[in-house]
Each structure stands twice: as C-alpha cells, then as structure tokens.
Amino acid sequence: MKIGFIGLGNMGAPMAHNLIKAGHDVTGFDTAATPEGITMAASAAEAAMGADVVILMLPNGEIVQKVADAIIDGMLKGSVLLDCSTIDVASARAVAALARSHGLGAVDAPVSGGIGGAQAGTLTFMAGGATDDFARVKPLFDVMGARAVHCGPSGNGQAAKICNNMILGATMIATCESIALADKLGLGRQEMFDVVSTSSGQSWSMNTYCPAPGIGPTSPADNDYRPGFAAELMLKDLRLAMEAAEQVDADTPMGARAAELYAQFVENEDGAGLDFSAMLPRFETRRRG
C-alpha cells in the first residue's frame, strides 16, 4: 500500500520502518523527528496526498483533530484514516465523523506494547470503526503488531485502551504497595512473588512486569526503572479514563485514586522519566499517613 505516516517519534518511527520492511511505500511527516530510512514530506498534507492509508501517531486529541482538519480535504476518496494515537474518546469519534463526511474510512486503533513492541512488531491494536474499514487496514496491523482486536464502532478502540490501562495503573499501585508491606513484615520478595504469582493475587503487574528488581521475568525494574511505559504516559491514560468517566457518569473511585497518585508521583516526586512501575521505590520509603 501507499501509506502516509504522520508522527514519527519513539513509537511511530519503528512502526513505519516495519511497514517499509514489509514492502509498503511510506511517506512520513513529523514536526521535529527526521528518522533515517523514511521518505519525508514537507507537510502533513503532502504526506497524506495520494495515500491508500494515512496513519497518525500523535500526542493528544487536540493535535489529532488539527492534523485531520489539515489533511482530509487532500486525501483520496475511499482511503482510510488510521489513528493509532491514544486520545480521548470524544475526539476519536469527532475525527471519524469528519473522515466519513469526506468519503473516507476511519479507524481508531491505539496500541499496547510500548517502544519494544513497536520495534519488534508485536504491538496489540485495539480498533474502533466499521468492519470493512478494519478489514482494509488489518494487513498493516499484521505487520506492525501481533494482535488486533476489533472492539466495535468508532471510539471503541480508545475506550478499550483507557479501560485496560485504568486496570493496569490501579493494579501496579496495589502490587507496589503490597511488596513494600511485605518488606516491612519481613517476608522475602522471592517468597512473596512465588506465592502471589501462583495464587489469587496474580496479575500482569506481578507475573510479567514485576516492579521488584531481580524477581520474575526481566522488567524495567532490572534497568533502574528506565521506562518501558513511562509514568507520565500512565498518568495521561488515567486522566483520559477519568475524563471519559465524567462524560458518561461512571463511578470509578479506584481509577480516580490511581490518577491522583500518579499525578503526585510524576509532578511532585520526580517520577517523570521513570517507568510506571517505579512506584515501588516510592512506597518503600513512605510511612502510613
């Protein structure tokens, strides 16, 4: 396919490189990054011109809407706008409606798997949009990722992402505070892991991404908490979840508390630039109250 790729940062660039390796014709645009090996356009509109699929990987809903406004008039009728950014549900649905009004397909497909998954082509895509639009971009998902789930109509990909990450954020906090409590009770971390990872307390945060160094599979904890998934990105996703909860009047007390704790960690406790699992050393030094 001929592909326009807008947003070539830490995630977008390796995704675009994997598409090129698979034989697709990729033209990129980014306001700052100029990755090697990708043909670059002078503007987002130029990158989108003549493309069968235009992929966006951008920081937030406001930027996605601005870029969509700038490129949609010049896109080929019948082409697909594939937004892989993680943004608010309302913006995703607004962009999809705009695309459809111009005779375009639209899929919102945020990703899970981080920079490592983007490089390895093992991302998971959570996709919202019409069934035929999903089918048209599925071959691209197969190149950039290991799994793509069609979650329903436009916006549902974003809904799936923020619900998943609300669980992840709350679970990681519970995992970290439980390990810190075990430390103070004199329970060894390996024994804690051996019990919890095979009992009713098991979770992805404990079994796969354990926040304690030297315990379980290798994780960012074993690399000084250099981010696989940065704490500030977790905060972004939790805030998107809280925004969505407010819009639909959903009661999410655990999600709200997780958002508060990550905000405190990132904005007031030097958590920015660390992995979201670096909550463990935070709890190690804290006392009740």
Eight-class DSSP state of 230: B
C-alpha distance from residue 287 to each of 24, 132, 173, 180, 235 (Å): 55, 54, 15, 10, 23
Task: List phi, psi (to 5°) of 30.
Answer: -150, 145
> In angstroms, rounded to a whole number, what is the distance separating the alpha carbons of residues 241 and 259?
9
Burial class (CB in 10 A: 0-12, 13-18, 19+), 34: exposed
> In angstroms, rounded to a whole number, what is the distance separating the alpha carbons of residues 242 and 162?
9
For strand 123-129 and strand 105-108, is the pairing parallel, antiparallel, or unpaired? antiparallel
Eight-class DSSP state of 198: T
Task: Compute the residue count for the chain.
Answer: 289
> In angstroms, rounded to a whole number, what is the distance separating the alpha carbons of residues 279 and 264?
11
Annotated catalytic residue 66: no
Bridge partners for 126 per DSSP: 149
Catalytic residue, chosen from 21, 66, 161, 184, is: 161
The residues annotated with a catalytic role in the active site are 161
